Amino acid sequence: MSRFPSALFVAALIGSTPAGAQPLNLGRAALPEETRAWDTSVRPDGQGLPVGKGTAQQGEEIFQSQCASCHGEFGQGVDRWPELAGGLGTLKDDRPLKTVGSYWPHLSTVFDYINRAMPFGNPRSLKPDEVYAVTAYILFLNDVVKDESFELNDKNLATIKLPNDAGFFDDDREVSEKAFWNASPCMVNCKSEVQITGHASVLDVTPDPKTAPKVE
Amino acid sequence: MSDANSGALLDRRRLLGAGGLTLVGLAAGGARAQSAPDPLITNIQPWQSTEGEGVDARPYGAPSAFEKDVVRRNVPWLTASPISSVNFTPLHKLDGIITPSGLCFERHHGGRAEIDPAKHRLMIDGLVDRPLVFTMDDLKRMPRVNRIHFLECAANSGMEWRGAQLNGCQFTHGMIHNVMYTGVPLKLLLDEAGLKPNAKWLMLEGADAAGLNRSLPLQKALDDVIIAFGMNGEALRPEQGYPLRAVVPGWQGNIWVKWLRHVQVGDQPWETREETSKYTDLLADGLARRHTFVMDAKSVITNPSPQAPLKYKGRNVLSGFAWSGRGSVPRVDVTLDGGRNWREARIDGPVLDKSLVRFFVDFDWNGDELLIQSRAIDSTGYVQPTKDALRKIRGVNSIYHNNGIQTWLVRASGEAENVEIS
């Protein structure tokens, strides 16, 4: 019997990842109040939404005082801060404008992001009713709802569809880019001539002028 | 130099033949004759005649004052505010495969959080049998691992989709670092909580002012994800998520949630801002790929490059990094003639899974213009594509996942420029 434990010990020493067969008995049970406090991430089906409500009209007031200095009075964006509205139908354009209305697939994402990270400079300061109201106003700015008296709440949020909800598909690179798996790339005499087609020095944006296109 | 490639790869005999030419702005290569004794050798220097600082002067060390330019840099026009922005690793000043902690690029969405580890909690809840709360002390009593992995922002090289734009590998490729992490396999924590049968996705959430949250497929979590508290042998740096971050080997940096406080288990993705409005890849037909987690194989020559010109004819060292999110990179090819001819680079140092590898081409330069490129070939057989090959499939509005082959034009002066070629 003495050989068996010692062989196990050696295996454990050279094993690459610790096994979790035995309970570690570390940590403690999370209390219901604690899980409730942190389970605030909102899914497209509405899981995680707090009870609450707000109209687009109520949201406009909050938006103009707390959001418009960066996002613009109509959600058009100020300087390099993000546009929130407009751009519908531009995704195939040379310069697409990606906003809540033109690009975002789920309204739950808007609520979740405002609730956790906005307004920039004072995050987690809005009450649930205020987040519903601002989210409703962003729908209004994007013409998803036309009536400013529209009320958004925890019951109807998951039922509202955004224009580009069908605009996404799962990563397919291993199929659509299969040609990049190439057993024998060319090594010798791969092309006859080489032309320079573009120079970074022409743009001269290293490291700081304001002329270059922005990235997100 | 036994390969059959011609191009600008020179052998010793051709170099000696060119040795009599006048060099413009470049020091001659090779062993130089000295006409007068070097005073740096014959005179006593100040650092010999005065004692230096004692061991109490710098309890935590810092680089030499002569290395003051080796720093992270940002590009102010990229973003509206430095609080939600990025800076770049000075790749051209590094060697080996490990990025020094203080040079690892930073990307924050709500600024760098400063968290007292005694006040930090990690909660695991959702579809588990036992929702649990861990302190940092709890985590440090668990079995832990050390792993070296690269972290690359999905937007690395994102400014280059429409053409050569930024002059310097720090800016074109510097949203990457490679670090040895210390931490607990996430699988151990999930086992401790007990997964419900319908568990499929996790939500990772940070404790910073952005409360950054991302959905992670359970399968990846069980495979190789680490909840890390250490980097390069010491605690995580605050800008890298102190006291706790997710390490998601081979996957885009945004999902390596920093200041990690919460792992919620669910049966579907949360579709957060960072996985819908951002970090989705818009294609030319107006549809967008989502959940593009894996970083494709990629490489870049860091020396020479626009920030690191050639200074000498004759003997030189060409060097760079390669990496793949799908495995290791056992092979890197280099061309000096714009892709007419390629040769295998010499890889030095560890070739690890989902880690940077370091490659070299030791070469002689006669002062001719060079068009230099590298291409990574990973352990799955994926060959790093040209930028045009990528554009043909993806268009130019993807922002993310630009892993195309980088070209530097090295002029006769030794200066290098970011260019694109046919």
Question: Mean pLDDT, to the nearest integer, of A177-195?
Answer: 94
Q: How confident is the model at residue A203 (pLDDT cuts 50, 70, 90)?
A: confident
Shared domain for B135 and B242, answered yes or no, is: yes
Shared domain for B279 and B327, answered yes or no, is: no
CATH number at residue B367: 2.60.40.650
Question: Mean pLDDT, to the nearest integer, of B100-124?
Answer: 97
Percent of chain B at pLDDT above 90?
89
Please report the pLDDT score of residue A211 as a whole number. Answer: 40
Considering only residues 27 to 66 of chain B, which have any Cβ-Cβ distance to chain A shorter than 8 Å? none
Question: Mean pLDDT, to the nearest integer, of B296-304?
Answer: 98
Shared domain for B327 and B411, answered yes or no, is: yes
The residue to which tokens 């294609």 are assigned: B283
Q: Is the pLDDT of residue B20 over 60?
A: no
Question: Mean pLDDT, to the nearest integer, of A188-216?
Answer: 73
Q: Is the pLDDT of residue A169 over 90?
A: yes
Q: How confident is the model at residue B257 (pLDDT cuts 50, 70, 90)?
A: very high
The residue to which tokens 């109490």 are assigned: B56
Please report the pLDDT score of residue B27 as a whole number. Answer: 66
Shared domain for B302 and B280, answered yes or no, is: no
Q: Is residue B234 part of a domain?
A: yes
A201 to chain B: which residues are within 8 Å by CB? 167, 417
Range of A88's domain?
A: 51-157
pLDDT tens-digit map of B358-399: 999 999 999 999 999 999 999 999 999 999 999 999 999 999
Please report the pLDDT score of residue B26 as a whole number. Answer: 74
pLDDT tens-digit map of B136-185: 999 999 999 999 999 999 999 999 999 999 999 999 999 999 999 999 99
Q: Is residue A4 part of a domain?
A: no
| Alpha helices in chain A, H assignment, sequence order | 3-14, 32-38, 56-66, 68-71, 107-117, 128-141, 173-176, 200-203
Please report the pLDDT score of residue A201 as a whole number. Answer: 79
Q: Is residue A139 part of a domain?
A: yes
Q: Is the pLDDT of residue A48 over 60?
A: yes
Shared domain for B332 and B385, answered yes or no, is: yes
Q: Is the pLDDT of residue B279 over 90?
A: yes
Contact A112 B270 (CB under 8 A): yes
Q: Is residue B251 part of a domain?
A: yes
Question: Mean pLDDT, to the nearest integer, of B205-226?
Answer: 98
Percent of chain B at pLDDT above 70?
93
Q: Is residue B21 part of a domain?
A: no
Average pLDDT, chain B: 93
CATH number at residue A153: 1.10.760.10
Contact B420 A198 (CB under 8 A): yes
Q: Are B358 and B96 in contact (CB under 8 A)?
A: yes
pLDDT tens-digit map of B233-243: 999 999 999 99
Asked if the peptide bond before residue A128 counts as cis, ω within 30 degrees of 0, the response is no
Range of B363's domain?
A: 298-419
Q: H or E segment at B335?
A: strand B331-335
- Of B238, B254, B289, the position where a domain reaches its end is B289
Q: Which two tokens stand for residue B37?
A: 């004794």
Please report the pLDDT score of residue B25 as a whole number. Answer: 59
Q: Is the pLDDT of residue A10 over 50?
A: no
Number of domains composing chain A? 1
Q: Is the pLDDT of residue B250 over 80?
A: yes
Chain A touched by B86 (CB under 8 Å)? no
Please report the pLDDT score of residue B3 as a whole number. Answer: 41
Shared domain for B260 and B324, answered yes or no, is: no
B266 to chain A: which residues are within 8 Å by CB? 43, 47
Please report the pLDDT score of residue A206 as a whole number. Answer: 76
Identify the bridge partners of residue B377 per DSSP, sorted by sequence position: B331, B383
**CA-CA distance, B278 to B271, in Å (whole number)?**
11
Contact A26 B142 (CB under 8 A): yes
Q: Give the residue from chain A lying closest to B385, CA to CA.
A: A180
Q: How confident is the model at residue B124 (pLDDT cuts 50, 70, 90)?
A: very high
